[in-house]
Chain A
Amino acid sequence: MLFVRNLLYSLRRYRFLLRQLVLRDFKVKYKRSVLGIAWSLLYPLLTMAVLALVFSNVFRFSTPGVSYIAYLLIGLTWFNYFSEASNLCMSTIVANFPLINKVYVPKYIFPLSKCLFVGINFLLTLIPLYLVILLTGTGLCWQHVLLPYCFLCLFLFTLGMGFFLAAVSVFLRDMFYIYGIVLSLWMYLTPVMYDIDIIMHPLLRFLMSLNPLYQLIRFARTVILSHATPSAAQFAACAAPALLAMLVGTLVFKKNQDRFVYYM
């Protein structure tokens, strides 16, 4: 209880810092480019165009009944949010050592700011995604109002992982390399480009369905592609890993945060 109260207090006190950090990331990211902030919309739009071009003509997995481009892009948008945000989170503590060593700032604010920053980018990529949804004739349905639930679960899952990675990488710098490999393996094990049904082995398929990212993507696909309401099990499969990741990530982070300064 005291922990929650302290957390709320520091969140209120440092919400200005949080906003400044997110703003800073935006400013610095597009600082020296001619098009500036327009890139945050243009970049995902163009990447999606490239992917759509490549995957609809060169590689093509079958996704019966639904548009493959929409299928692919949903998976990619979701997965990219996770991989980019968690990757950025991982280096936040190490990168901010000069700051942490000089003034007191609540350290959780750094991973949190990265998850929010990438989260805003994620919301911007939804614009080209919806363009694709409309252009491919996938169409809309009322179930789209359920998607914010999915975003929230994705955000919490990523944040929890981000806390864990940020804390661990302070003590084990090898994490930066290990996680890069883990991410690319994770990417191929997640049915982003292919349908999970092409996995013939039932046990393997079951194991793959335990992947939280797959469950989050499946939720979105159920809504966007099948125009269906996800089952209660699907709701639970999104929330459970998110809460678990938050619990473990926060605990690991909180338990170790006072020792960060010794490992610079």
Chain B
Amino acid sequence: MVLGLSLALTGLCLVVVVWAVVKIVTRQPVLLTRRGDQVLLGVLALVELGLVVQAVVGFVLGAQQQIPNLLTFGVYLVGVLLILPVGTFWALADRSRGGAGVLVVACVTVPAMVLRMHQVYAGG
């Protein structure tokens, strides 16, 4: 697996977590009309793009090498792609600071899944 990509994606997710926590503390909803939140969504889109790249790389590696838990690995590669789109949709539909809380959940889940993916890839 490409460690650099995973670390970069984890870093971006943590930036979103910090941003979202600030919004929770200051009691602001996530709104598409705000400039800052548009940048936030841009970052989320970038992470999603990175996750797609990771899935492609993962499947190529899976086809080339013998991975002990190939099925589990594949499910993680595809499953992690669902988190941000669904999470963002659920967050934006809320008009309270709950929306920012949803983004925290999503952006903690993604690095956790990426970590598990690496463990599975390594044979764990």
Do A and B pair up? The answer is: no
Q: Which residues of A contact B (CB under 8 A)?
A: none
